[in-house]
Amino acid sequence: MSSQAPNYDLTLVDRIINLIRNTELGGRMREFYYGDPIDIPTDSVPCFIAELQNTNIIQGPTGMDFVTQEVLLKIVINIKSYYDIQGDNEMAGQRALEEMAQGLNPATSQYDATSIVGIIRQNFTLVNFATNQTMQIKYGVMPRGEELVTSEVHIRFIVENFQMTPNKV
């Protein structure tokens, strides 16, 4: 009997992590997590987290299903790392998170290619996987473990696609 894991196609979460990892933004991350570890070591931030939240499958055209998946993407930073660089009335790390999540290029006023939204919009189909996407972005502060207080951005990313199915009877 083989002890090797089954060889499945890349999941949506795998595709997103690989996409972000291979960008300038990915170069700024110390860790990438498939699922949220909750207690993140201080030396592992900033980090990127992606976790599947929900899958909805509806019968589609013959031989296909219409699939909607919801993934929660997170960028987590240590607030203490930003104490010396924020403005007078600016929450530590808030501007940095906004730029990483949905920053705009000052020359073009389009989503910056180094932001999550810019990266995903430039790769709309996620390597011929997605047919539609929507995003909702939220910011907040959160304690993680005993030593780490983070500022985080959570991007609820909903992806639609068609999935081939076995012969239907």
pLDDT digits (tens, 9 = 90+) for 103-117: 999 999 999 999 999
- The 10s digit of each residue's pLDDT in 98-149 is 999 999 999 999 999 999 999 998 888 887 788 888 999 999 888 887 778 8
- The tokens describing 105, both together, are 């290029």
Is 8 strand, coil or helix? coil
Residue ranges and CATH numbers for the domains of the chain are: 12-164 (3.30.70.1700)
Q: What is the dihedral of CA 7, 51, 93, 29, to 10 degrees?
A: -10
